[in-house]
Homo-oligomer: A and B are copies of this chain.
Amino acid sequence: MASNEEELKPYLITDPQEMSARIDELRRQGKKIGLVPTMGALHLGHLSLAIAAKNECDVTVVSDFVNPTQFAPGEDYDKYPRTLNADISLLSKIGTDFVFAPSPDAMYPRGFDATVHVGGVSKLLEGRFRPTHFDGVCLVVLKLFNITRADIAYFGQKDYQQVQVVKKMVEDLNVPIQIDMRPIIRERDGLAMSSRNQYLSDEERKESLVLNRALEKAEELVRGGERESSVICDAMRQIIETAKDATIDYIHIGDPKSLVEMERVSGDVVVLLAVRIGTTRLIDNRLIERK
């Protein structure tokens, strides 16, 4: 492709109908479409997904949309970082084809009145602390899947429960898309990358390391033969409580697909946690697979 054309990438689209029309054209040419749904404020975690999409698909779409329906009143919708120009600049370096950045009004126009709800795995953990969150996620993700008609959508393992909820929605609604979960990308010191990390003060940033340390401890115990979830959770809690501003929302050991709590570890498990450091809520997890 001419370097001129490359330089114009990614092409910014804000209108859902224009996005659909471009995709229609590309699908008629037999192109394989990869979608990376994001709320912008891109970091290396998102970029790793966009790179995977670029490697495996003919056309990559990164959506960049802070979705109001997945925030509850009082959450951080207003202060959530919006950095579209910087996002586009980052994506231009890896050859992303389209950035889809609609306005809230374009996604939820006057008279909009639809809801999508997936039960089961959405009710636990984040579903308890943020009861409307996954309905909002399912709604926007389904809309994005339909607008982009992607073959594959890439999600980060950081939002582990979200990925399971989306997979369940895809299964229950027969959505013709493949969901690809990619590993968590961490800072050098172990903190899982998140757009919300920038809310942390210097002191809180140091304290936030207890999340990953607790997960490392959990893996160490499981690999060492510990089977009692309560023993593992206690050890994690002790580590997290060394941070003076930390408040634990949950520590959970569950089945990797249903997330149903396991009192005794057997087979593969996922360990998930949500911890508030000061006023910033962080989540992290570790999948422990056994050969």
A residues neighboring B (CB under 8 Å)? 16, 20, 24, 28, 30, 111-120, 142-143, 146-147, 149, 168-169, 172-176
Contact = CB atoms under 8 A, between A and B. Distances in A.
16 contacts: A16-B174, A20-B176, A24-B176, A111-B120, A112-B172, A113-B119, A114-B118, A114-B168, A114-B172, A115-B115, A116-B116, A116-B117, A143-B174, A146-B176, A147-B174, A147-B176
A169 B114 contact: yes
A46 to B, nearest CB: 23
Given A174-B146, A176-B149, A117 B115 contact: yes
Contacts of A142: 173
Contacts of A175: 146
Q: Which secondary structure dominates where chain A touches chain B?
A: mixed
Given A16-B174, A146-B175, A174-B146, A116 B119 contact: no
Q: How many protomers of this protein does the assembly include? A: 2
Contacts of A118: 113-114
Contacts of A172: 112-114
A146 B173 contact: yes
Contacts of A112: 172
Contacts of A116: 114-117, 173
Contacts of A16: 174
A120 to B, nearest CB: 5
Contacts of A168: 113-114
Contacts of A174: 16, 20, 143, 146-147
A120 B113 contact: yes
Contact of A173 (B24, B30, B120, B143): B143
Nearest to A16: B174
Contacts of A176: 20, 24, 146-147, 149
User: Which of A28, A142, A176 has most chain B Cβ within 10 Å?
Assistant: A176
A143 B117 CA distance: 14
A114 B170 CA distance: 10
